A and B are shown apart, each in its own frame.
Chain A
Amino acid sequence: MRSRLIARWQGILLSLIGIVATVWLAATDRLGLYIHPRYFWFTVIMAGIAAVLVVAAFAFAPLREAEHEHEPGAELGGEDGPDHEPAHRHRSEASRAGRLRGALAALIVAGAAIALLVLPPTTLTSSTATQRSINSTGSTLGGEAPTLVGGDTSQFSVKDWALLLRQNPDAEYFAEQDVAVTGFVTPSPDDPENVFYVARFVVTCCAVDAQPVGVPVYFPDWEESFAADQWVAASGAFVPNEGSTSAEPLLLSPDDVTVTEQPEQPYVF
C-alpha cells in the first residue's frame, strides 16, 4: 500500500525536488554552473508554473483513486483505466511487482534528493577536462576568432587565446603580445611535468556539452607550486615550444602565475 503511494506521488515529489533546486540555484546566482544563461528565464518560469500545479496536486484528491473507491468491483471486473495493470489475475505477483516498483521509486526520489538538495553545486573538474581532451577540434572552437591586430587583448579570455593559437600557430604573429588569462590548472597529457593548461570549460547548452579550452603554459615542475584544479591567473608571452615534448607549437612563457579565487562564472559561453 505504502509502495503504491510512493509510486503514485513520486512524480510530485521529484517535481518538488527539481523546483526547489532550480529556484535555489537561481536565487543564489549559481544556475550558470549547469546551464547556459539563455535558458535562465525559461527555466525559472517553468519552475514557477510547475510549483503552482504541485501545490494544487497536494490540495486535490487524486481522481482515479477516488473513482476506484466508488466502484469496489472495478479492479476485479474490468480494466477501466489506461494505467491499469492487466495483472489482476495474478494478485500475489502483482503485489510483488508493486512492492518492487515502490522500492525503485523510493530509491529514485532519495537519489534525486541527495544529488539536487544535499550535494553542494560545483563546477566540472580537471578530470573531465583531461578526459575530453583540451582544444579538440569541434564546433565549440569553430566560432569567430577575435582579431588580434587592433583588438583589446586585455579583455581576451582563455577561449579567445585558444582560438587564436589554433588558427594561427605562428610565433611572429604573437610577438610582443602581453597575454593574461585566468583558469584552472589541468596537466598536459603529453608532458605533464613541464606543461599545464590554464583551462576553462565552454558551455553551449548545459554542463553535459562542456568542452575544455586552455592556454598551454611552460612551467617545469609546476606541481611543486600548484595543484590540478587550482584557479590561477597567468601572464606572459607566447614563445615557440623548444624544451617540451608537448605537441603544442607555442607555449606561454609566464612572467607571473598567481593562485586566485574561482570566478563567479567559471564557464565561458
Chain B
Amino acid sequence: MSRLPTPSPPALHAPHTRPPRRRASVGLALGLGLLVLFAGIRLFAPDATGDLLSNSVQDFFTLSISVVIESLPFVFLGILLSIAVQVWLPEGFLLRHLPRNAVARRVTISLLGVLLPVCECGNVPLARGLILRGLTVGESMTFLLAAPILNPVTIITTYQAFGWDDGILVARILGGFVIANLIGWIYSRHPSPMSLLTPTFQASCAHAHDEVRSSRTRRSVDMFTTETAAMLPALFVGSAVAGLIQVAVSRDLLVTLGQNPVLSVFALMALAFVIAICSNVDAFFILAFGSTFMPGAVVAFLVFGPMIDVKMLALMRTTFTARTLVQLTIIVGLASAALGLGVNAVA
C-alpha cells in the first residue's frame, strides 16, 4: 500500500482524502446500495432458471446451500465470541487463573472450549490471539484441538444426533480430550517451540503489544471483516465440495466400505478431511451415513474432522510451519484411527 493514487473505488480509500464523516456516509451508501442490489436480484430472479438444471445438478445446489444456511449462523457466533475475547475482555482475563503445573494447565486449557463455544473455524484466530497473550505453542495446540469438540454446542448437537447410541458421544468427548492433551504434551517437550511457528507469526509475537490504537467498536468491526474474509470463502468452498460428494459418491461404494470394520474407519476419516465441515454440525452430517458405517468409523470422523481437515490446515498454515502441520496430521490421524478401530472392536 503506497500513497500513490490508485484506481480503486474511492469509498474504500477515502479516510486520508476526506473527512471521516463523509467517508462513513459514502461507505454506508455503498453498503446499502449493495444490499438493495442483492435483495433485488433475489426478489426478481425468475423461477424458471431452476428448470434449466438436471435433477442431480439441482440437488447439488440444494445440498450445498443447506450446508451454508445451516453453518453460517454458527460461524457468525464463533466470530462474535472471538471478538469478545480479544477485544472486550480485559487482557489476561482467561490466562491469569490457569494452574501453574503444566499438566493441570493443559487439562484446564482443553476445557476452555466450554466457555468459548466456537467451532474449529472460529478457533484458529482465537488460538493466535492466545499465543500473543502468552500461551505456549504446545498449550495453544491443546486448545486448538480440544475446543471444537469439548464445547457445549458440539456436545448438544452430537447428543441430538446420536443420543447415547453405541457410545459415540462418550468416545468423541474422551477421545478429543486425550488426543488434545497428548499433542500438547508432545510439543511442550520441543526444545525450541517458537521454531514451530511461521516466521511471520514469530515476528508478530515480538510486536504483540503494538496494538492498533482505536476504539473497541472499530476494532470489533475490523476483526469481523478480516475473520469473515478468512472463514466464509472456506465455508462456501467446503459446502460445495460436501454437496458434490453427496451427489457424486455412490452409496453402494460407501456401503461396501462401511461394512468393513477397518476400512470404514479410514474411509470416514478421508471424508472428514475432504468435506471440512464445522464441528458444531458435523454430527448431523454424518447421521445421514449412520446406517451405512460402523460406530467406530463415525467416532473417527467426529474426532478427526474437527481437528484436521483441508480448511483447518489452510487456516493453521497462517500460524504453524508446514513441517509442524504434517507431524500434527500424522499424530492426530493415527490416534483417531486407533480410537475408531478400538470402538469397532468393542461394538
Let me know if A131 and B38 touch, CB within 8 A. Answer: no
Taking CB atoms, residues of chain B closer than 8 Å to A120 are 45-47, 49-50
Residue in chain B with minimal CB distance to A5 = B8
Let me know if A61 and B23 touch, CB within 8 A. Answer: yes
Taking CB atoms, residues of chain B closer than 8 Å to A112 are 68, 236
Query: Within 8 Å of chain A (Cβ to Cβ): is B135?
Result: no
Query: Within 8 Å of chain B (Cβ to Cβ): is A248?
Result: no
Query: Within 8 Å of chain A (Cβ to Cβ): is B331?
Result: no
CA distance A36 to B263 in the complex (A): 32
CA distance A19 to B37 in the complex (A): 13
Query: Within 8 Å of chain A (Cβ to Cβ): is B294?
Result: no
Kindly identify, within residues 10 to 28 of chain A, every residue whose CB is under 8 Å from any CB belonging to chain B. 10-18, 20-22, 24-25
Please encode chain B, from 229 to 256, with 1 for each CB lying within 8 Å of some chain A CB and 0 for all others. Answer: 1111100110010110011001100000
Residue in chain B with minimal CB distance to A11 = B228
Taking CB atoms, residues of chain A closer than 8 Å to B3 are 69, 72
Let me know if A62 and B229 touch, CB within 8 A. Answer: no
Let me know if B69 and A34 touch, CB within 8 A. Answer: yes
Segment at the B interface, from A76-84, A163-171, A213-221, A256-264:
A76-84
CA distance A221 to B229 in the complex (A): 54
Of the candidates B62, B67, B247, which one forms a contact with A122 in the assembled complex, judged by CB atoms under 8 Å apart?
A: B62
Query: Within 8 Å of chain B (Cβ to Cβ): is A225?
Result: no
Q: Which of A21, A46, A59 has the most CB of B within 10 A?
A: A59
Q: A18-B68, A206-B67 are in contact. Are A119 and B50 (CB under 8 A)?
A: yes
Of the candidates B55, B219, B227, B287, which one forms a contact with A209 in the assembled complex, judged by CB atoms under 8 Å apart?
A: B287
Tell me the smallest distance from the CB of A78 to a CB of chain B, in Å.
Answer: 7
Query: Within 8 Å of chain B (Cβ to Cβ): is A180?
Result: no
Query: Within 8 Å of chain A (Cβ to Cβ): is B167?
Result: no
Taking CB atoms, residues of chain A closer than 8 Å to B219 are 63
Let me know if B62 and A131 touch, CB within 8 A. Answer: no
Please encode chain A, from 53 to 81, with 1 for each CB lying within 8 Å of some chain B CB and 0 for all others. Answer: 11111111111111111001001001111
Segment at the A interface, from B9-17, B103-111, B171-179:
B9-17
Query: Within 8 Å of chain B (Cβ to Cβ): is A149?
Result: no
Let me know if B212 and A63 touch, CB within 8 A. Answer: yes
Tell me the smallest distance from the CB of B129 to a CB of chain A, in Å.
Answer: 9
Taking CB atoms, residues of chain A closer than 8 Å to B27 are 58-61
Let me know if A208 and B61 touch, CB within 8 A. Answer: no
Let me know if B49 and A12 touch, CB within 8 A. Answer: no
Let me know if A61 and B55 touch, CB within 8 A. Answer: no
Q: Is the interface of B mostly helix, strand, loop or mixed?
A: helix
Taking CB atoms, residues of chain A closer than 8 Å to B214 are 63
Query: Within 8 Å of chain B (Cβ to Cβ): is A43?
Result: yes
Residue in chain A with minimal CB distance to B225 = A57
Of the candidates A12, A39, A116, A118, which one forms a contact with B68 in the assembled complex, judged by CB atoms under 8 Å apart?
A: A116
Query: Within 8 Å of chain A (Cβ to Cβ): is B133?
Result: no
CA distance A56 to B12 in the complex (A): 13
Please encode chain B, from 199 to 215, with 1 for each CB lying within 8 Å of some chain A CB and 0 for all others. Answer: 11101100100101010
Of the candidates B23, B49, B250, B290, which one forms a contact with A118 in the assembled complex, judged by CB atoms under 8 Å apart?
A: B49
Taking CB atoms, residues of chain B closer than 8 Å to A84 are 200, 204
Taking CB atoms, residues of chain B closer than 8 Å to A9 are 12, 225, 229
Residue in chain A with minimal CB distance to B36 = A20
CA distance A119 to B285 in the complex (A): 24
Query: Within 8 Å of chain B (Cβ to Cβ): is A136?
Result: yes
Of the candidates B2, B9, B232, which one forms a contact with A5 in the assembled complex, judged by CB atoms under 8 Å apart?
A: B9
CA distance A112 to B237 in the complex (A): 9
Residue in chain B with minimal CB distance to A87 = B200
Tell me the smallest distance from the CB of B275 to a CB of chain A, in Å.
Answer: 10
Let me know if A127 and B225 touch, CB within 8 A. Answer: no
Let me know if A82 and B237 touch, CB within 8 A. Answer: no
Residue in chain B with minimal CB distance to A65 = B1
Taking CB atoms, residues of chain B closer than 8 Å to A18 are 68-69, 72, 232
Kindly identify, within residues 228 to 265 of chain A, every residue whose CB is under 8 Å from any CB belonging to chain B. 229
Query: Within 8 Å of chain B (Cβ to Cβ): is A103?
Result: no
Residue in chain B with minimal CB distance to A138 = B291
Let me know if A60 and B287 touch, CB within 8 A. Answer: no
Q: A63-B212, A83-B318, A119-B50 are in contact. Are A206 and B291 (CB under 8 A)?
A: no
Residue in chain A with minimal CB distance to B230 = A11
CA distance A217 to B149 in the complex (A): 44
Taking CB atoms, residues of chain A closer than 8 Å to B55 are 125-128, 229
Q: A14-B236, A22-B69, A108-B237 are in contact. Are A2 and B8 (CB under 8 A)?
A: yes
CA distance A138 to B15 in the complex (A): 58
Let me know if B76 and A34 touch, CB within 8 A. Answer: no
Let me know if A82 and B200 touch, CB within 8 A. Answer: yes
Query: Within 8 Å of chain A (Cβ to Cβ): is B182?
Result: no
Tell me the smallest distance from the CB of A71 to a CB of chain B, in Å.
Answer: 9
CA distance A21 to B28 in the complex (A): 20
Let me know if A86 and B199 touch, CB within 8 A. Answer: yes
CA distance A124 to B58 in the complex (A): 8
Tell me the smallest distance from the CB of B248 to a CB of chain A, in Å.
Answer: 10
Taking CB atoms, residues of chain A closer than 8 Å to B61 are 115, 119
Q: A59-B31, A63-B219 are in contact. Are A14 and B233 (CB under 8 A)?
A: yes
Q: Would you mind naming 7 contact pairs between A and B with Cβ atoms under 8 Å apart?
A: A11-B229, A79-B204, A83-B318, A124-B59, A127-B55, A208-B285, A208-B288
